Structure 1
Amino acid sequence: MTLVLVYLSSNTAWHFPLMILASLLLFLFIIRIVIGKTRFKEQFRLVLLLSFLLVVLGMLFGKYGAQWGLPWWIYYPIPMLMTLLLPPILLKLNTKRTIIYLFLSFLSAPFIHTFFSFFLGWTEYMPFWDIPYLGDL
């Protein structure tokens, strides 16, 4: 296990795909909490479509939008607004569930950044927020 972590830390090509995977799993977990087990199973195809659209394509758009020369006010807010607005609308969440979803979704990015930064020393998820690496403490 230690060798795997050393390899993944030294080979930065793995960082972004693993961050997408972690974000995808966390998004699915949040949706499962918000809509419950029964609705999650019933709407699984829609949840998977939302997950792919919002997490995978959203993160790719955010990462490569900057490299394509798009202004930050396009490549950052568009995926963020889609993530905030589409699940409550498409999953027909009531007010209580929407508030829970919004609260958890706002916590998800700092959670993932803290995890990757603190345990692996990967700081590119939210590079403007400095979290010390456990290995440096």
Structure 2
Amino acid sequence: MNTDWHFPVMIFTSLLVFFLVIRAVLPRQEFVRKKYTVVLLSIWVVVVGMLFGKYGASWGLPWYIYYPIPMLMTVLMPPFVLKLKKNKTILYLLLSFLSAPFIHIFFSFFFGWTEYMPFWEIPTAQALFS
């Protein structure tokens, strides 16, 4: 079964979730005022980060390079680039740490796609209810 198309769907979903997290953290006017920054940040953090994480192993990089770099980009860049205050940074970090497992659980449980976080096994809805 060809699963190559899963990755672009996961990138799109991650972009959507990232936008929702940023929107939850920033007040509406600030989100609108910084929309171009948010778009560029999203592309860099989500798209570039996920591509680097996915293909890092193929490039022969050790796991301690291709796994933590995208994670650090996700954790450090938005608070710095968006100039978040302490309480907004804490909210962002909480939501960002919850978003990856949420996306993985969603795809694993409903579709049986395990590529997002392959080291964490989630049973599928089909397996539970059959």
TM-score, normalised by the number of residues in structure 1: 0.91
Aligned mates of 2:21, 2:52 — CA distance in 1: 22
Q: Does 1:133 align with 2:124?
A: yes
Q: Give the aligned partner of residue 99 of structure 1.
A: 90
Moved over 3 A (4+): none
Aligned mates of 1:13, 1:71 — CA distance in 2: 23
Q: Give the aligned partner of residue 45 of structure 1.
A: 36
Paired-residue identity, %:
65
What are the superposed Cα offsets for residues 19-67 of structure 1, whole Å, 9 maximum, x if unpaired?
0000000000000000121111000000000000000000000000011
- 2:108 equivalent among 100, 104, 117: 117
- 1:60 equivalent among 19, 41, 51: 51
Unaligned runs of 5+ in 1: 1-9
Aligned mates of 2:30, 2:9 — CA distance in 1: 28
Q: Give the aligned partner of residue 75 of structure 1.
A: 66
Unaligned runs of 5+ in 2: none
Q: Does 1:108 align with 2:89?
A: no
Q: CA RMSD in A?
A: 0.8
Q: Does 1:23 align with 2:10?
A: no
Q: Which amino acid aligns with 1:72?
A: W
SS in 2 for 1:29: helix
